[in-house]
Structure 1
Amino acid sequence: MVENRRFGNLLPHAILILGVLILAFPVWLAFVASTHDATTIINGQIGVLPGPDLIKNYTQTLFHGTQGATREPVLTMLTTSLIMAVAIAVGKIVISLISAFAVVYFRFRFRMFAFWLIFITLMLPVEVRIYPTYKIVSDLHLLDTYAGLTLPLIASATATLLFRQFFMTIPDELLEASKIDGAGPLKFFKDTALPLSVTSIAAMFVIQFIYGWNQYLWPLLITTQDSMQTIVIGIRKMITTQDALTEWQIAMATAILAMLPPVVVVVVMQKLFVKGLVETEK
């Protein structure tokens, strides 16, 4: 029997609500600022309610951009960031699934050496190997291309480790049953391993999508055209050193728009994550 502790739950709920308000209030202020004109923001006259310029500011942000350092419409930057984030997330998951499956289910020489070699790369992020990576991309003429934005970032030791640990939990009886049915490695991978990996794939997609979406240093180095810059770089270029030259209403609208795709991915993949857990338990 579950006890009815109505008043005992008030304190935890109050703390949670307070935490949500603390985290959400700056985002709300950014949204409010994006609905006012530049003069109101510079003079510090914005309140806590949206202003009259919401449609005007967001239309200019999406389809016209700013008049400052970056003149590209935010819609173009959002598209570039979305392509980059999806390509990185999907690429990391595909490569990691294949490599983890090979390490667990195939017996070949130096198998564990290859795995630990992949694992050691966790200590070598892009920032450490930035020059040789840039040199290779430049020599291959991949600057200002989607391939240059994504290919150097699609390998993931973290995802390989996660999928390897998950594959090791799959009962050997499933593998033996697949062999008895005449299924080869690829059929076992497609019909058994992949469906059971839905939960891990969903969690990894969310993590890697946000990782790709928030990339700043790598796109900054290999993109010289405004049409190839990502949303994170665009926000930075909109904010100049002099407040009078910064179109704060456009910058705030861009920041709000930049938060929407990761939020959508988290919400959608959260449903898939829960569905994967329920189906796995069945």
Structure 2
Amino acid sequence: MQAWALNDASTARAQAAVARAIGAIGRAPFAAEALSGLHAAFGAASWSVYRLRRDAPPTLHLSASRGVPDTTAACFSIYRDEGLYRGDSSFQAVQALPQPGAAVMLRMRAEEAPSADHRDAIYRRHGISERLSVACLEDGGALLAVNLYCHAPAQGFAAGTVEGFGLTAATLLAAVRRHLDDEAALALPPPRRERLRQRCAQLTERELDVLEALLDGLTYDGIAARLGLSVATVKTYRARAFERLGLHFRSQLFAAFVPPGA
């Protein structure tokens, strides 16, 4: 059995984290801004929000990392593409609820992952030591999960932060749902950089910088001046990025990432 003493300081940090998430609702940098508060309050180095469905692959709605390499999209791709979600029993407590709507808090250490493949491919490979989640069933049977991750060298979330998360988890879940609802209503395409990441999670920050500059219409000289790099280095980043994306010509980049009529 686990027990935690109530702590006014941890409660205040948790409330501040949720307030920051609420303040970021409807804004493009929601994932990063919300994580900054979650990191300060709970020590979360990354987080993700996804939906699990009974008859379809899961959907990643947002994710971000702070202080560690951002492997959230890559982890989710493994989870989805290798079918790990099909054997994911870690949300059974939520799926067993008789009615949708109630929020459930879950805590899972790396060694408690539902299968060896899940543990090794996601947690061990990417240095994730623990997951702290709040989830709920939705009308129609989908499950919405908000997941915070603790990364090595930390062994897990501190007891005080877990207690604080429990006090505010339902409000955080409501804030995330509101943000997702607002995004769906606006039906705006994701920012260009995010769309590039969605196409290839392995793109580095510098490669993304160069791709965005190309999409802005800059020449190699212009990109070099913007980024403070040599033209040769710009060309190297461009070649690597195109190889990752399976592109050969700049026109293909524009066709893939510039909306018609833009």
- The TM-score, its normalising length taken from structure 2, stands at 0.22
Please state which structure has a larger fraction of its residues in strand. 2
Q: Relative contact order, CA 8 A, sep 6+: which one is greater?
A: 1
State which structure, 1 or 2, has the greater radius of gyration over its C-alpha atoms: 1
